[in-house]
Amino acid sequence: MNIINRFIVSVFAVSLLFTAFYSCQSAQGKGSTDSCSGCDSGCRTGRKAIVPGDYAVGDPKKIRITNEDIIADFYSETFSTGTAMYVEICRTGSQAKKVSVTELYFGKRKIDLTEKTWGYKGLTGIDPECVQSRESVAIIYSLGGQKKQLNGMITLSRGKFPVNLVPLDLGKYSNVDFRLKPEILEYIQKCAEKKKKAFSKNSPSRIGNAFAHPRDAHYVTSHFWAKRAIMRYRVKNGKRIYLPKMIKVHRGLDLRGDFGEPVYAMADGIVAIAEPMYYEGNFIVIDHGNRIFSFYMHLEKFKVKEGDRVRAGDKIGLVGSTGLSTGAHLHVSLMIQDVSVDPLSILVLPVRD
Ligand SMILES: [Zn+2]
């Protein structure tokens, strides 16, 4: 994981003065009630996105790429850079033969697909730094032993990411010499090895039919992919000598929360890491399969342990301010096949089993 991910700050450590209700809200597309042969069928059995009462889940945008054999429906909140994208591939209603999809490419990137009784599903991310206005899609499939290919294009819009160039004082973390102490370097190295091992796994998809907001109240204190200036200094003879500020990209999202407030798993998966780390503090990583990982940082307490199986909406920890943090908040990140996306952009996706 990139070091940038670790520069987490919440300026709002104030406790919430209102109560938000943790409720269910539909994030499903509008399925028709006809036969189950196409992706638009009425077979959707989604458990619905679990979100707080002050967070509204809209409808996803949909782009359909199709031919006489297959339908591929792509869903995203906005199809803008830095958002997650969900795809379902089914055979068309008029195609009676079995279609086996072997590969799906979004640009040069291969999207891992999971076969279901109704077709295939997959998740990917639109790179926040992607500068193209369109990206190609290639679906390779076989029909009656014959290899075929469906090509298409997805038009992308630019994500809007804030820039804040006022240097942020991260206390001891802004002191460039602090982390050079041998015992700290050793600890950082140990943490890096643990993360590398967890992220090297490509386990089968565990994402079921629902996503969940990671908090019981919604208030963003630092946006995804915000560019921020970090203060750097050395201490000589008891005085700070300032070094040029460093620009960091915030690879996750900071959500307001007071000490001890709940943190929920965003999707089904297995707890890959639940332990203290140097930058992340008390850190949870959930492996959702297909190289999809969600991260929860600075927790006060763990409510799960490594190896636990969790479902979307399960309480996994409590909000805190451990590690590189200046106040209680939750930093949450989502990495889909090495692409960082705005974690909340998955909530709108009509994922199903
Ligand atoms: Zn953060």
The whole-number average pLDDT for the span 286-311 is: 97
CA of 5 to the centre of ligand 1 (A): 7
- The closest of 77, 49, 52 to 255, measured between CA atoms, is 52
Q: What six digits make up the tokens of 290? A: 């297909």
Q: Decide if pLDDT at 76 tops 70.
A: yes
CA of 330 to the centre of ligand 1 (A): 7
Contacts of residue 77, Cβ cutoff 8 Å, sequence gap at least 6: 58, 60, 61, 83, 84, 345, 348, 349
Q: Decide if pLDDT at 25 tops 70.
A: no
Which residue ranges form the domains of the chain, and what is each CATH number?
3-18+160-346 (2.70.70.10), 23-155 (2.60.40)
pLDDT of residue 46: 54
Q: Decide if pLDDT at 296 tops 60.
A: yes
Q: Decide if pLDDT at 33 tops 70.
A: no
Q: Decide if pLDDT at 23 tops 60.
A: no
pLDDT of residue 20: 27
CA of 281 to the centre of ligand 1 (A): 12
What's the chain's average pLDDT?
Answer: 86
SS3 174: helix
- Whole-number Å distance between alpha carbons of 47 and 312: 10
Q: What six digits make up the tokens of 9? A: 């700050």
Q: What is the pLDDT of residues 165-184, one digit of tens each?
A: 888 888 777 888 877 778 88
- The closest of 254, 182, 183, 233 to 6, measured between CA atoms, is 254
Residue 237's CB is within 10 A of a number of other CB atoms, namely 5
The whole-number average pLDDT for the span 251-255 is: 96
CA of 255 to the centre of ligand 1 (A): 8
Q: What is the pTM for the complete model shown?
A: 0.83
pLDDT of residue 94: 82
The whole-number average pLDDT for the span 65-70 is: 94
pLDDT of residue 40: 57
pLDDT of residue 182: 85
CA of 7 to the centre of ligand 1 (A): 7
Contacts of residue 78, Cβ cutoff 8 Å, sequence gap at least 6: 61, 157, 159, 345
CA of 215 to the centre of ligand 1 (A): 14
Residue 86's CB is within 10 A of a number of other CB atoms, namely 22
pLDDT of residue 180: 73
The percent of residues in the chain predicted with pLDDT above 70, rounded, is 86
CA of 253 to the centre of ligand 1 (A): 5
pLDDT of residue 17: 23
Contact of 105 with 151, CB cutoff 8 Å: no
Q: What is the pLDDT of residues 139-158, one digit of tens each?
A: 999 998 899 999 999 999 99
The whole-number average pLDDT for the span 48-68 is: 92
Distance set, CA 293 to CA 35, 173, 288 (Å): 35, 26, 6
CA of 183 to the centre of ligand 1 (A): 25
CA of 13 to the centre of ligand 1 (A): 13
CA of 84 to the centre of ligand 1 (A): 18
The whole-number average pLDDT for the span 62-86 is: 96
Single-letter residue type at 128: P
Q: What is the pLDDT of residues 82-120, one digit of tens each?
A: 999 999 999 998 878 889 999 999 999 999 999 998 899
Least confident of 123-127, 231-235, 345-349: 231-235
Q: Decide if pLDDT at 10 tops 90.
A: no
Q: What is the pLDDT of residues 191-244, one digit of tens each?
A: 999 999 999 988 999 999 899 999 999 999 999 999 988 889 998 888 999 988
Q: Which residue did the predictor score with more confidence, 258 or 59?
A: 258
CA of 33 to the centre of ligand 1 (A): 43
pLDDT of residue 96: 82
